[in-house]
A = this chain, B = another copy of it.
C-alpha cells in the first residue's frame, strides 16, 4: 500500500472485478473464459460490463462444457496465452477435474520440466444462499490434495483483488476460490489493485491465548468471534491460511508455539479436510508446544439442506466459534 493510494470502500464482488479488469488491461495475453461471463454479466455480476469494455476476444462466453473449456484453457496456456478460466461455481468443477488433475497439475512433471501450464482457474465456492445439496459445496480440501496445483482461497477483500494478479505471474496452474456468500460484503482497500503475496498465510489478528486457523468463509467469521471475545478477556489470534497448497506452516507453527492452543475453523465437510491436515502437521511438528488438543469446527457431513435454519446449522457460525473458544480456554 503505497502513499498516494487512497483507500476506498468496495464490495467483495467489486474487488474481484477490479482484479480481472486490471489483469486484462496489463497483459494482452490474458483473457477470461467461462459460462456467462460476458453477455449475462457473470452469474454473480462479477464481470458485468467487461465484455463491453474488452470485447468478445478477451471475455469469452463458453457453452456448458466444463471439461471442454477448462481443457481448452489448459491448451491455450500451453501455447503462450494467460487464460483465466472461470468455472461458474465449484459445484460444476468435478466435470473438469480430470483436466485439472491429470493435465494441468501433471504436465510439467510428466514432461520432465518441458511444459508449463500457466492457467488460472477461478471458482466461486461455498454456501449461504440456500442453494441446497448440489450447489453449496466447499471443495477446497479436494483440490488441496493435488500436487502440482497452487490452491488459493480469497477469504478477504484484499485477496479477492490481489490474488489473481499474482497468480497470473505464476508459471504453474493456480486455482482461486472465491466466496459466493461474501459478494455483497463491503471492505476497505487502497484505491488501486496491487499484487499480493501468494506463498504465506496471513495473520488477521494477533493474539496470545489461542490460534484460530481458518480460510475462506471462515476468516471474517473467526475475526468477528475473536473481536467479540476480546471483551471477555480472551485474546485469540486469527490466521487465514490463504494458500491451501502448498501450505505455509511456518506461520501456523509460530502461532501455536506462542498460544499453545489451536482451533481450526472451516465450512468444508468434517472429514479429510484442510483442518485435518493442519491438525496432523501441528501434531507432527509442534506437539510438545501444545497445552491442549487442537480442535476442529467444520461443516456438518451432509449434502446441504435447503432450509435456512438447517443450512445455518450446517457450518460453524460466529456463535459456535465463540462458544468453542470459551470452552477450550476454560478447559485448558
Contacts and interface: CB of A to CB of B under 8 A. Distances in A.
Contact of A272 (B91, B148, B276): B276
Interface string A238-277: 0000000101000000000000000000000101111111
Interface stretch (A16-24, A30-38, A172-180, A287-295): A287-295
A303 B106 contact: yes
A269 B279 CA distance: 17
Contacts of A292: 287
A269 B147 contact: yes
Copies of this chain: 2
B287 A293 contact: yes
Given A95-B98, A303-B106, A272 B269 contact: no
Interface stretch (A55-63, A76-84, A138-146, A156-164): A138-146
Interface string A81-112: 00000000001101101100110011001100
A318 to B, nearest CB: 22
Contacts of A181: none
Given A106-B134, A147-B302, A148-B303, A283 B272 contact: no
A64 interface: no
A292 B285 CA distance: 11
Contacts of A67: 95
A87 to B, nearest CB: 12
Contacts of A274: 272
Given A102-B94, A110-B133, A280 B303 contact: no
Contact of A142 (B132, B145, B245): B145
A296 interface: yes
A28 interface: no
Interface residues of A, number: 51
A134 to B, nearest CB: 5
Interface string A116-152: 0000000000000000111000000110111110000
Contacts of A280: 275-276, 279-280, 283, 294, 296
16 contacts: A92-B98, A102-B133, A109-B302, A109-B303, A109-B305, A110-B133, A110-B134, A110-B303, A145-B273, A272-B276, A272-B277, A275-B280, A280-B294, A283-B283, A283-B294, A288-B293
Interface of A: 67, 91-92, 94-95, 97-98, 101-102, 105-106, 109-110, 132-134, 141-142, 144-148, 245, 247, 269, 271-277, 279-280, 282-285, 287-288, 290, 292-296, 301-303, 305
Given A102-B133, A284-B296, 15 more contacts: A94-B94, A94-B101, A106-B134, A109-B133, A110-B133, A145-B273, A147-B302, A272-B276, A276-B277, A276-B280, A279-B283, A280-B283, A280-B294, A280-B296, A283-B293
